[in-house]
Structure formats: structure tokens, C-alpha cells
Homo-oligomer: A and B are copies of this chain.
């Protein structure tokens, strides 16, 4: 963009947001029209110059948030949505709020791990720009399958993240699942793969949704042709409730002995837990069982979810809790 235009946008933003002048007054000071100021301000907003944050002190948080925070030890953001909205609209609004909530966390020199799926796809469409330096977006797990490369879908997500934050994008060009564990072992020794794995090991932020085996309409992982019938049968027989980045777990958060994980390409749960900020985005009550498993596994430090799911999360919980 024209640099003098950027300077004007900055001045306008300062005058509008910090000095409470009207656009009209700003237009006079900048010797231009009010409509130009309006446009300058919107360019300031979506170039990340202006950042709006909602910061609610913990002790005045709605009790729903307080309950989840205390029970699961995660930093939670409940997205207010009315019940009457359909799944797609809810997802869209959760995604928009999620994008804006973690936007401020992104900083220069960050290494950001990003999963893929319908949730992340929605999130990626609502990112607000923010200029950073030397940041890297790294793909958490492979996206190919036996029918399509799957690359375009996942890579669109990655590309959007990259351009929003001015970051380098590192794709992970492997299938979502290997057919044979031995192939994975072999590939994991390839230097091209190791470069990605090393980046993943240094992630400062990871962003992912959850898959839930019994979701109303199941995640890509279960329906997208990534797994064959035999695989699904194995899953069903091992108490698996869901996955994060194609790594499966049970409702108690355990993942040992799930053979499919030996062929999947996402980071092991223990590796994921090493990441400082782990942001989980969930929309839709039908993901509740997967979500519970993920929380039991301690996979998230930050949880962004819609109100209905949040409510279900505390209501359906069996154990006796503090009332109010």
C-alpha cells in the first residue's frame, strides 16, 4: 500500500479511537472527505493497526466460564449465540470470535501450529491481519488421503493464516494416515519431514478443533475417506471418543494402545502438551464427547466454544459440583 496512505490511516486511527474525534473533524484536519476517512479507518482496522480486545476480569466472568475454568483448568471464552441459529451460522460466529480472540496472542517470532478441518477452515476465513516478523505457520498433521491429495483444502487454511500474519507457511506434505506404520517410521527419518517435526517441537502456539466420533455429522477425519472400514471398526472397538489433529484418545484422555495413532501424522498428545499456548476451538454440541476427552487429556490451555456446548459441558457432568 501507498506509504503515505498508511501514515494517514495511522493518524486517523489515533484521532478517532484515542481522541474521540468524529470522522468529519478528522476529514477537516487531514484535508480530505469524510468518506475517505471512513475508508482509512476500515483499512486501519483490517490491517491490524487497530486492535479491539474484550478483557473481562476473571472475578466478573459469567458463572458458566468460571465453572469450566475451575473444573478443567483452561482459559475459556464462551461465544454468545442464540439457540435458534443453525450449525453453520454458529460455527461462523464462533470462528469469527475465535480469530479475534487469539489474534492478540500472535506475535513476532511465533511458530504457530495449525490443524485443519471444518472448524479451522471457518476460523481461517475470519482472521484479522496483523503484521509480524519471522513468524512461521506450520501444519500440524498431513492432509492427503487415498482419493484426493486433500492438499488444496488444508493449504487454503494455511495460506490464509500465513497472509493474515505475514508469516512463512510450512506445509506437511504427507497423507493424514499412512497405510503402514513402517512407512511412517521411514518417512519420519526423511530430512524434509524432520524439518517440519523440528518446527512443531518449537511451536509457541497450536490451534486446533476436535473431532468427535459420534458427532451428528462427523468430522472430515471420519467421513472424508481417510479411514477404511477396517480402521473404523478398530476405532469402535477401542473406546475412542475423538481426535485432535488425527491423533485419537479415549474419554479419560488416554491414548496408549490405540494402534491407529501409530499411522497418523499429527503430534503425539504428549508432544502437543509441551506447547505453551494450545487453543482449542469447538462449535456444536455434538462434539461434546470428543471435547471432554480432549480436556481430560489436558490438550488445551485455551478453549473457545459456543454457549450451548459450554452449557452442556457443565450440565452433563456427572460429578457433584458447587451449585448457584
Give A contacts to B, CB under 8 Å.
3, 6-7, 10-11, 13-15, 17-20, 29, 48-57, 60, 62, 79-80, 82, 93, 96-97, 100-101, 131
17 A–B contacts from the bound complex (CB under 8 Å): A7-B62, A11-B80, A13-B54, A14-B79, A14-B80, A17-B100, A18-B52, A18-B54, A18-B96, A18-B97, A18-B100, A19-B93, A20-B96, A51-B54, A51-B55, A52-B53, A53-B53
* Assembly CA distance A266 to B55 (angstroms): 35
Contact between B10 and A82 (Cβ–Cβ < 8 Å)?
no
Smallest CB–CB gap between A132 and chain B, Å?
8
* Assembly CA distance A97 to B52 (angstroms): 16
Residue on B with the closest CB to A78? B14
Q: Count identical subunits in the complex.
A: 2
Residues of B within 8 A of A13 (CB): 54
Residue on B with the closest CB to A130? B55
* Assembly CA distance A21 to B97 (angstroms): 11
* Assembly CA distance A158 to B96 (angstroms): 40
Residues of B within 8 A of A11 (CB): 80
Smallest CB–CB gap between A253 and chain B, Å?
30
Quick one: which of B17, B29, B100 contacts A52, CB cutoff 8 A? B17
Using known A-B contacts A19-B97, A82-B29, determine if residue A14 contacts B51 with beta carbons closer than 8 Å. no
* Assembly CA distance A49 to B57 (angstroms): 8
Q: Which 10 A-B pairs have the closest CB atoms?
A: A18-B97, A11-B80, A18-B100, A51-B53, A57-B131, A17-B52, A19-B93, A29-B82, A19-B96, A52-B52
Residues of B within 8 A of A48 (CB): 55
Residue on B with the closest CB to A63? B7
Residues of B within 8 A of A79 (CB): 14, 19
* Assembly CA distance A60 to B50 (angstroms): 14
Quick one: which of B3, B10, B53, B97 contacts A56, CB cutoff 8 A? B10
Using known A-B contacts A29-B82, A60-B6, A97-B18, determine if residue A53 contacts B54 with beta carbons closer than 8 Å. no
Residues of B within 8 A of A17 (CB): 52, 54, 100
Residues of B within 8 A of A19 (CB): 79, 93, 96-97
Residues of B within 8 A of A60 (CB): 3, 6, 131
* Assembly CA distance A277 to B98 (angstroms): 32
Residues of B within 8 A of A96 (CB): 18-20
Residue on B with the closest CB to A95? B19
* Assembly CA distance A187 to B79 (angstroms): 56
* Assembly CA distance A3 to B13 (angstroms): 33
* Assembly CA distance A29 to B79 (angstroms): 13
